Amino acid sequence: MILSHILFPTLIAAAVFAVRWPHLKFPLDEDLATYTYIARFRKQGLRWKQDAFLFLYPVWRLQLLDRIYGNPETGPQRVRLFLAAHNALTAVVAYGLVLTLTHNAWAALASGLLAAFFLTSPSLEAESFNTEQCYAPFLLGGLWAALLGPEWAVVAGLAWGLMAIAKLTTAIYIPCFLILLWLLQGAEPGFNAFVASALVLAASTALDAARGYFDPESLRQIKARMLATLRTSRRDAFWPRLKGDLRLIAAETFPLWILGLPALAGMFLEPDGPWFVTLTAVTLFILFAQRAFTRYHYTPLIAVLAVTSGLGLAWLGAMDGWLPKAGIGIWMLAVAFTALRQLPHYTRARDPEIMARYGKFEQLLYLPYLGRVLKRLMKLSGHAGEPLYVWGNFTQLYHYSGSPAADSYVYYAMGPWLDIGLEPVFDSVIGGLTHKRPRYLVQAYPDFDPVLLEEITGLRYRLIKTVLARYPVYRLEAFNPPKQDPLKLTWMEKASLMERLTRGRHMPGLNDADLLRGRELKALTECRKLVNLNPHDRDGRIFLGELCERFGLHRQAGNLFEWVVAHHPKLRQVRLMLARQKTVLGEFEEARFLIKDEIRLFGKSTETAQALGRLEKALGQFRAAIDHLQNAIVDAPERWDLRLEQAECYEQLTEPASARKRYLQVWEGATETAEQGFRAQAGVGLARIGAIVNPASATLGDFVKKAPDNAPLAYAHASALEKEGRLDEARELFRSLTGSLKTDLLKANAWYRLARLSEGDEREQCLMQCVRRNPYHYGAQEMLAAWGVNHVPA
């Protein structure tokens, strides 16, 4: 009696708090940050509905959470303890349910401990705030009460009513369970349970109604959030995501599946089987109806498997012979092995290497850093605590920066927007930005257009930098009131504007905004910070490798690509990136092996043909290189880089007519702004071929007149002047280019070339300007070193 009623439940509850304790001070995720947003800024006068959209009923539960949160210093820990209490209740209920069905206290203890441990699995995102943790104890508790007999029907109804309060969609369980109760135990227990659950829901609804949360504005907000959530849930393909999530969850809860699933199937045949059939069917229905768009939706299913695993243990223990005992022993080894695999998530919970394994690693590792950057930025500019705007669902940035949102929607939404129910999102976002004019705007998701935002609102934002090469941060430069108030447009006009405003990828990721404006060094610096924060960021390593290649750091780039190939061998293209570095470094056999490996794994492609062409070109096999490049051109005739490389091979073979033909194709075809570099290379090639008849500087001068906005071409013209000994003209042109060029690398090269044409202190200043934009410029570093030693021009 003491063991089964006091000691074991206490032990199970203690186990829950023990495994949850390491995560109390975990970084915030967007769910926890959203639920506690008003609580965080409550002292500043923010309230639900007025300052943040309502997104679920009952609203009084959100306000209860505000009270539990208390203050920002300890609020997140208190909320997590509140969730841990629900987990403890779930585990204890699992214990009681198994004890009732089997009268085996040890099997019930095992069930409770399994629930305590596996419901906190990293794959279930237990560190987040989710309503699945809140309703699971009432779901299982109502089932337990129903199985105890008709006299417990009222308790069962009360539990199911509380379950629906925890998450409204779970109300679908109630009629299913009530019908089953009526069929199995009679009309009176069914009616009693119905009245009990109805009273709970009626009281909850009446409380919200009395506080004014069923008025038209509240309903508009709830509807808008629901529509936005439904669109977000359809962002990814359902079946591939389902398979991936199930594979990960099954790996971390493996013992529950190998014992719990057979036991669940066996339970269907028992006298109490209809209850478990209904429980399983409705749980799966809700899971699929929600499209399981986040992994914590599987929490109730894992709770059910924890219960049936206890049932399976009891059945195996009651069997005679050595085989069931051996099965229990093997199963216990599986439990031990799985627990040991997950142990680092508890012993080293806040280690960056461990946090990088979570599905929300970005929110755990990157956003705290971004939050500190924003807080420091706003403090230094004298705008601390003023409204901030974040496009995306990373509401924790408001917590970290200490600044409330400029809008009241305070979340993320995506199209299609042609639905009048989404009009409040436009009104909140555009109205909030226009009214509060936040000093800083963070583009956490790439599907947001600040240029179009200026057309709509008159707010002109300028990019400061892209933090961690992922999050562009903008500062407000000017406000020119628009001719027409955007809030007075029709809802269809608003929908059209939102469609245009939110084009792009609807997922966070790397952002090349700094590259597009020519700030290569800033992009490199921020990407290094990203990889230092999370050395396991695959995409970050690839991007950093590409940036290192731009700066001529081919060995570093090769090391980064080698890591990606070793850890992600099924990823396309990375072997070719590595082969490119090996080719530049003269490691030709390794490069050839990598290209062949890419072809073996993924087949031939334009990129493999180009890689083979580059390799043969580096080896001096120009005819073979031309053939490979021609194969690539057939597949991708729009690729100007392929024609340029082919033209260079023809030059080496002293076939100027063929080379000239291809250079002309590039010169005449590469007319887009993004293709200026290709056009400049073509111009240089044509000037080189025609140098016998006409000096290269003259030819390039003519090209510059035809394409005056082509900065790389102007740089090539200045270089040609220097080579021909026209130093004064070259010096003046390089000096002009140092002020007009937009990209760090090209500007650094211009400063270096100007330094070579200068003397004394002017040379040193030019060299310093060069290394300021490209600290890896070998020529500038060498000249500065000589200057430092001899204090004379190198």
pLDDT above 70 (res 717): yes
pLDDT bracket for residue 238 (50, 70, 90): confident
- Per the DSSP assignment, residues forming a β-bridge with 463 are 474
pLDDT for the residue 693: 86
pLDDT for the residue 339: 95
pLDDT bracket for residue 790 (50, 70, 90): very low
Tokens of 339: 């627990």
Alpha carbon distance 244, 295 (integer Å): 10
pLDDT above 50 (res 10): yes
pLDDT digits (tens, 9 = 90+) for 504-514: 889 999 999 99
Instruction: Name the nearest CA neighbour of 136 among 305, 300, 295.
Output: 300
Alpha carbon distance 572, 565 (integer Å): 9
pLDDT above 70 (res 369): yes
What residue has token string 């699995």? 121
- Across the range 56-74, mean pLDDT stands at 95
Tokens of 561: 């690509």
Choose the weakest-confidence range: 40-54, 225-239, 243-257: 225-239
pLDDT above 70 (res 3): no
pLDDT digits (tens, 9 = 90+) for 347-356: 999 999 999 9
pLDDT for the residue 788: 65
- What backbone phi and psi angles, to 5 degrees, belong to 657? -65, -45
Strand 389-391 with 471-479, pairing: unpaired
Intra-chain end-to-end CA distance of the chain, in Å:
91
Name the strand (E) or helix (H) holding 782: helix 778-790
pLDDT for the residue 293: 84
Alpha carbon distance 648, 432 (integer Å): 56
Peptide bond into 416 cis (omega under 30): yes
Tokens of 460: 């002109």
At residue 468, the 3 state secondary structure works out as coil
What residue has token string 């109630």? 174
Q: Alpha carbon of 4 to those of 1, 87, 140: distances in Å?
A: 5, 19, 19
pTM: 0.93
- Per the DSSP assignment, residues forming a β-bridge with 442 are 390, 473
pLDDT bracket for residue 2 (50, 70, 90): low
pLDDT above 70 (res 683): yes
pLDDT digits (tens, 9 = 90+) for 603-646: 999 999 999 999 999 999 999 999 999 999 999 999 999 999 99
- Across the range 323-337, mean pLDDT stands at 95
pLDDT bracket for residue 236 (50, 70, 90): confident
pLDDT above 60 (res 137): yes
pLDDT above 60 (res 101): yes
Amino acid identity, residue 611? Answer: A
Alpha carbon distance 281, 164 (integer Å): 17
Q: Where are the domains of the chain?
A: 2-353, 361-511, 586-637, 642-718, 726-794
- Across the range 440-467, mean pLDDT stands at 97
Alpha carbon distance 476, 79 (integer Å): 36
What residue has token string 């044409």? 757
Q: How would DSSP label each residue in 724-751?
A: TT-HHHHHHHHHHHHHH--SHHHHHHHH
Three-state secondary structure of 180-225: HHHHHHCHHHHHHHHHHHHHHHHHHHHHHHHCCCCCHHHHHHHHHH
- Across the range 542-567, mean pLDDT stands at 98
